[in-house]
Amino acid sequence: MFRKLTFICILAALGLSVGTALAAFEDMPVSPRARGMGEAGSAVVDGAYATYLNPAHLALSTNGVIAASYVKPFQLTFNDYYHLGAAIPISPGNGAFGISLTQFKVEHDNVKLLDETRISLGYGNTLYSDMHSQVDLGASVNMYHLKFGETTSGIDPGNDSCLGIDLGLLVTVHKRTKLGVMIKNLNNPQIGIDEEELAQRVIAGVSYQPYDGVITTFEFDNELGQDVQYHGGIEFYPASGFALRAGIVTYPNKLTGGFGYTLDRFSLDYGFSTGGGTLQSTHQFGLNIAWGGEEQ
């Protein structure tokens, strides 16, 4: 009984539903760069994170890149969130594949209470291109696996898996303006014996590069049955290889920021966001390694 109450308290602290259905696989910014720019990523190309943010971005991959990030949401000691992703070009004109692995764990007193794992395979390619514009399309298939820890009385709540499909679109206009659209869980996947529906979301954004070294972005995130979230951010390079980022998020209202440093084919990123209420701020770190193609 104590363990059940502890689990409920932990879920409440995370802002999850503790009613008849558990809010499984809540959205989490996987990219420190996107987090720093107001948690906006649908229209800002971000290589190794593309499979999660918008698989249409994979069409623009000119070299292979792998990235890993880690975050402890709201600095809560009992939870951890990991991401590992990569973008792998096939050949010029044939797009690129992407992979993504995310894992969210809740652990208390060395006892695993919850494990959410998502493995994704994505592909993106160019549908149309001319001297002024380009249209890219992408899709990803996601395997969701949810597992609860065994109770002290020996009861195993079990585990379950399901498949979800995401679609992404990216339109580039005059090279400096990008319009991105991402539809998550298009097939309405359900998990568990209660057939809980995983969140379906439509994300649409625009990014604009007024001049080299500066990117601005704005997007809205509409989860079915929830209030619309708005995101806005900016990235600029005060020095070669060094980027500063800032942004805002609504519902809940949050401020974000961060930086990135690139040296040859390695880049280190940091992003933070305020708690949006009584929770503490979140700090996220990521490392990217590129190979082949043109140097970043």
Which residues sit opposite 80 in a β-bridge?
105
- What integer pLDDT is reported at residue 152 of this predicted model? 67
Q: For the segment 73-130, what is each residue's pLDDT rounded down to a tens digit?
A: 999 888 999 999 999 999 888 999 999 999 999 988 777 888 999 999 999 999 999 9
Burial of 275 (0-12, 13-18, 19+ CB in 10 A): middle
- What integer pLDDT is reported at residue 17 of this predicted model? 36
2-291 fold: Porin (2.40.160)
Contact between residue 53 and residue 45 where contact means Cβ atoms under 8 Å apart: no
- What integer pLDDT is reported at residue 5 of this predicted model? 38
- What integer pLDDT is reported at residue 35 of this predicted model? 97
What does the block give as tokens for 214? Answer: 């500066």
- What integer pLDDT is reported at residue 11 of this predicted model? 47
- What integer pLDDT is reported at residue 18 of this predicted model? 37
Among the ranges given (8-12, 156-160, 239-243), the one the predictor scored with the smallest mean pLDDT: 8-12
The pTM (predicted TM-score) of the whole model is 0.87
Compute the distance between CA of residue 219 and CA of residue 61 in angstroms, rounded to an integer: 22
- What integer pLDDT is reported at residue 271 of this predicted model? 97
- What integer pLDDT is reported at residue 123 of this predicted model? 98
When pLDDT is averaged across residues 197-222 and rounded to a whole number, the result is 96
16 — pLDDT class (breaks 50, 70, 90) = very low
Compute the distance between CA of residue 46 and CA of residue 37 in angstroms, rounded to an integer: 12
- What integer pLDDT is reported at residue 91 of this predicted model? 86
Amino acid at 166: D
Identify which of 13, 81, 32, 30 has the alpha carbon closest to the alpha carbon of residue 257: 32
- Angle, CA of 132, 136 and 137, to the nearest 5°: 160
- What integer pLDDT is reported at residue 295 of this predicted model? 43
When pLDDT is averaged across residues 250-266 and rounded to a whole number, the result is 95
Please check the confidence at residue 25 and state whether its pLDDT lies above 80: yes
User: Burial code of 98-117, b = ≥16 C-beta within 10 A, e = fewer?
Assistant: bbbbbebbbbbeeeebbbbb
When pLDDT is averaged across residues 43-56 and rounded to a whole number, the result is 95
